[in-house]
Amino acid sequence: MLVAVRITAFLFIAPPFSYGAIPARIRAMLGVGLAIAVSGGAAAGHRSLDVGPFLGTLVLQLVVGALLGFLVMLCFSAVQAAGGLIDVFGGFQMAQVFDPQAQVNGAQFTRLFQVTALTLLFVSGGYQLIIAGITRSFAAVPLDGTFAVAPSARLLVDGLTQMMVSALQIAGPLIVVLFLADVALGLVTRGAPALNAFALGMPIKVLLTLLLAGTVLVALPGIVDALGAEAFRMMREVGR
């Protein structure tokens, strides 16, 4: 039960298993199945507990699983954040809607990048690396052990910083092109005010975004692979 609680809490938060199209009962069944598979090694040396200590350990496993899932979600949020930046600078943010399955509130590229990253995780086998991370977490944080709060807080801060940097790296080239397009339109308007170049600003930026977004999509497989490795590394460092 302790193993199942940690794994199930992880699966409900960490992508790609947190996607709303996957029924909750399927995630719960997967958590129980994985718990049965790894409980032999995870429970090695574990002693039987009374009711009080057992409930406390149960809450601890819930916290550990949620923390690990949040770290993974933080890593892959970089792709979603990159899509959000492209929507803002490309002028697509006005078409923002809420996706109840992905729990994402964004425009076209935000949702496109989110779904593409989740698809790549399944197609490339990256989800297996994520599952390997949660199964190996029992060696870093045993069932009857505790984890240090300070290193975990540092991991959260580092993960948030890395998410922002990664989002800028993914969307950076396209953002620079759109910024230069704005500068060029401003210079044209200043040199020839009668042309009213800003009236063409929105169509030009939309066209540039659609033409150059393909280069970002081509790079997404390598980006998702690197993010998966980073998520695995962060899960291994929780107990240190």
- The answer as to whether 61 is a domain residue is yes
Domain region containing 32: 2-90+105-236
How far is residue 14's CA from residue 131's CA, in Å, rounded to a whole number?
10
Kindly report, residue by residue over 72-110, the tens digit of the pLDDT: 888 888 888 888 888 888 877 776 666 666 666 666 788
Q: How far is CA 54 from the centre of its chain?
A: 32
Q: What does the pLDDT read at residue 29?
A: 92
Q: What does the pLDDT read at residue 126?
A: 82
* 16 prior amide bond cis, ω within 30: yes
Q: What does the pLDDT read at residue 43?
A: 66
> Does residue 222 surpass a pLDDT of 80?
yes
CA quadruple 173, 226, 154, 81: dihedral sign: positive
How far is residue 131's CA from residue 35's CA, in Å, rounded to a whole number?
11
- The answer as to whether 41 is a domain residue is yes
DSSP 47: P
Q: What is the mean pLDDT of the chain?
A: 80
Kindly report, residue by residue over 52-61, the tens digit of the pLDDT: 777 888 888 8
Three-state SS string over 135-194 comes to HHHHHHCCCCCCCCHHHHHHHHHHHHHHHHHHHHHHHHHHHHHHHHHHHHHHHHHHHCHH
> Does residue 185 surpass a pLDDT of 70?
yes
- The answer as to whether 130 is a domain residue is yes
> Does residue 42 surpass a pLDDT of 60?
yes
Question: In the structure, what pLDDT confidence band is assigned to residue 160 with cuts at 50, 70 and 90?
Answer: confident
- The answer as to whether 95 is a domain residue is no
- The answer as to whether 98 is a domain residue is no
Longest CA pairwise span in the chain (Å):
83
- The answer as to whether 99 is a domain residue is no
CB 228 within 8 A of CB 129: yes
> Does residue 36 surpass a pLDDT of 70?
yes
- Which stretch of 47-56, 115-124, 203-212, 213-222 has the lowest confidence by average pLDDT? 47-56
Question: In the chain, how many domains are there?
Answer: 1
Q: What is the pTM of this model?
A: 0.79
Strand, coil or helix: 41: helix
- The answer as to whether 43 is a domain residue is yes
